[in-house]
Amino acid sequence: MNQVIHQSFENNEKGLNLLFNKDKLEKNPTKAQSFFSKSILLHPKEPIFYWHKAESFLESGELTCSIIFFKIAIQKIREFNSTENEGFLDKIQVKIKSEKDNLYLNMRYEKIRRSFKKFSVCLRHELEPTFCADPNASRELNFLKVNFYYNHRAFANIGLKNYEDAIENICLVVLHCPNYLNAIILRARLYMRLEKFDFVNIDLERIVELDSKHFVIKELRDFVIRVAVNYKNIASHMMLKGNVGMAIFYLSHAIELDKNDWTLYFKRGVLFSELGQFDSSIIDLRKALDDISAKKLDGTLEITPEREQNVWDHLGSVYNQMGIICFKKKKYEDAVYNFTGGIKCNPCITTLYKNRADCFYNLNEIKLALKDLNQVLSIEDEDQETKTKLATYNFILGEEFFSTGDYIKCIEKYNLAVKLNGSETKYFFERARCHHIMENIEECIADLKQVLKLHPNNVDAVGMLNRLIGGKPLDNILPFPPQKVLKKIEEKQENLITFPSISLLGVNRVKKSKEKS
């Protein structure tokens, strides 16, 4: 009998060496389980063998088996307490014989026995196991630490299906030992059972930090992603119902669970823009673009250029809306900044150039406005509205050169205005005046005839033409008209153009210039 007991403790020692990496052996919980099983087979009444086997299952992540053997160990402890002296002399003899070779049977078996006995008392009376706080005991016994009691109370509560209490116990374990990976895994699984999705995700992130290759990560991540997809579907349903606020709420929950899905940021960014929360919208849309770029670099995402450009277009639309708001408040510098941000998102959207040109016009930066409008024509060469506006701006510059006496540049600008909009009589008449001053009589007569062709009753044109060709002169028509003084451009509340499918106002200064003429 003594030989059998001795062999059982030898197997137990071998298992402990593999479980706790003693004697510089490679840690192998699975192989340790086989030695503990042999010990149980040889000496089934010894509770420590069941306890150690439970610890080995816990180390390998087999929580169900671990719970079973912890329960058996507790039951064996109770049986051991009821027959405390039965077989004890045999164990003492084994301990003395193996004193030099066996780590756990050299004056420590008695400490283990007392610890088990105290633990069973604590379990029955729900007392704090103060003996576990003894630093000497913690050093001598690997599994008797400050978190000893709470760890195994958690398993007892799991067996009783008191999951909330079990989580509370595990939280205390993690509080004392923040890097205790198995406790965090167990808590995450309990959160899964209770469907506390956000807490599962928090524990998942911690597990990844501690061991990025742990097998449980895939299980937890799949669970979290399934929940995130469910939140995304609910958000889509809310969007169809027109409940933008609730859609954002569910998308935010989905993002908390799955931060790697760029489509969630994109959808929430679009919804923020609909609510006028442009700063939040820009943050989300840029986060989506950053994720796309990062995943394209590491090869984890295949996305069509059209889908990626769609995100850029929405970001440009947000900048456009912000620019329009600034324009209406006459904050033209801020409006230019926002329209420029939109142009960087998509340089091919003409609306942004048109709107920025209107801002430059109100800032009296006519040359910059002309540059933007020319850019529009380089993209859409048949945009008649832009041609009309561009003609107006060139005419304004021509008037400025006229007032300073630079008639050559004045003629150049008038020529551009006429080329872009040949139906405006004012352009021909003012060019005729400039030709008259430069004594280009033939060109002056040709322009005056064109004015009369467009507007036969133009009194000024008739008077100048009669004087030049020898007809009956009219009163108040001088051969050399006085130079004009360019008036400061008045600030106007102009209506801007938006894109895409954004119901806002459009630009139409040309009609105003026609009404004045």
Name the more confident of 294 and 334: 334
Q: Residue 377 pLDDT more than 50? A: yes
| Per-position b or e across 479-508, b if 16+ CB within 10 A of its CB | eebeeeeeeeeeeeebbbbbbeeeeeeebe
Q: Residue 125 pLDDT more than 90? A: no
What's the chain's average pLDDT? 76
Best CA proximity match to 257, nearest among 234, 228, 236, 231: 228
**Can you tell me the mean pLDDT for 465-487?**
56
Q: What confidence tier does 138 reach under pLDDT thresholds 50, 70, 90?
A: very low
d(CA 106, CA 94): 10
Q: What's the pLDDT tens digit per position in 72-114?
A: 776 776 665 555 444 443 443 333 344 333 333 333 344 444 4
d(CA 397, CA 311): 39
Token duo for residue 355:
């709107």
Q: What confidence tier does 246 reach under pLDDT thresholds 50, 70, 90?
A: very high
Contacts of 84 (CB under 8 A, 6+ apart): none
Q: Residue 359 pLDDT more than 90? A: yes
Torsion angle in degrees (nearest 10) through CA of 40, 46, 48, 54:
40
Three-state SS sequence of 242-302? CCHHHHHHHHHHHHHHCCCCHHHHHHHHHHHHHCCCHHHHHHHHHHHHHHHHHHHHHCCCC
The confidence score (pLDDT) of residue 147 equals 56
484: left (phi over 0), alpha (psi -120 to 50) or beta: beta
Q: What's the pLDDT tens digit per position in 259-314?
A: 888 899 999 999 999 999 999 999 999 999 988 888 888 777 778 888 888 999 99
d(CA 62, CA 58): 6
Residues present in the chain in total: 517
The confidence score (pLDDT) of residue 123 equals 45
Report the sign of the C-alpha dihedral through residues 40, 43, 45, 49, in that order.
negative
Q: What confidence tier does 352 reach under pLDDT thresholds 50, 70, 90?
A: very high
User: Rounded to whole angstroms, what are the CA distances from 451 to 111, 384, 512?
Assistant: 115, 21, 20
The confidence score (pLDDT) of residue 23 equals 57
d(CA 319, CA 268): 16
The confidence score (pLDDT) of residue 496 equals 58
Gyration radius of the chain's alpha carbons: 43
Q: Which of 147-156, 351-360, 445-454, 457-466 has the lowest mean pLDDT?
A: 147-156
Q: Residue 319 pLDDT more than 90? A: yes
pTM over 0.85: no
Q: What's the pLDDT tens digit per position in 17-74?
A: 887 765 556 778 888 888 889 888 888 888 778 878 877 877 776 656 766 776 777 6
Q: What is the greatest pairwise CA distance in the chain? A: 146
Q: Are 199 and 180 in contact (CB under 8 A)?
A: no
Q: What confidence tier does 248 reach under pLDDT thresholds 50, 70, 90?
A: very high
Q: Are 267 and 250 in contact (CB under 8 A)?
A: no
Cβ burial of 135 (10 Å; 0-12, 13-18, 19+) is exposed
**Can you tell me the mean pLDDT for 334-344?**
93
The DSSP call for residue 1 is: -
Domains of the chain, each with CATH number or no CATH = 2-217 (1.25.40), 219-303 (1.25.40.10)
Name the more confident of 471 and 155: 155
**Can you tell me the mean pLDDT for 415-426?**
88
If one counts every other C-beta atom within 10 angstroms of the C-beta of residue 344, the result is 13
**Can you tell me the mean pLDDT for 169-197?**
85
Q: Which of 120-124, 201-205, 256-260, 431-435 has the lowest mean pLDDT?
A: 120-124
The confidence score (pLDDT) of residue 268 equals 93
The confidence score (pLDDT) of residue 156 equals 67
Q: What confidence tier does 134 reach under pLDDT thresholds 50, 70, 90?
A: very low
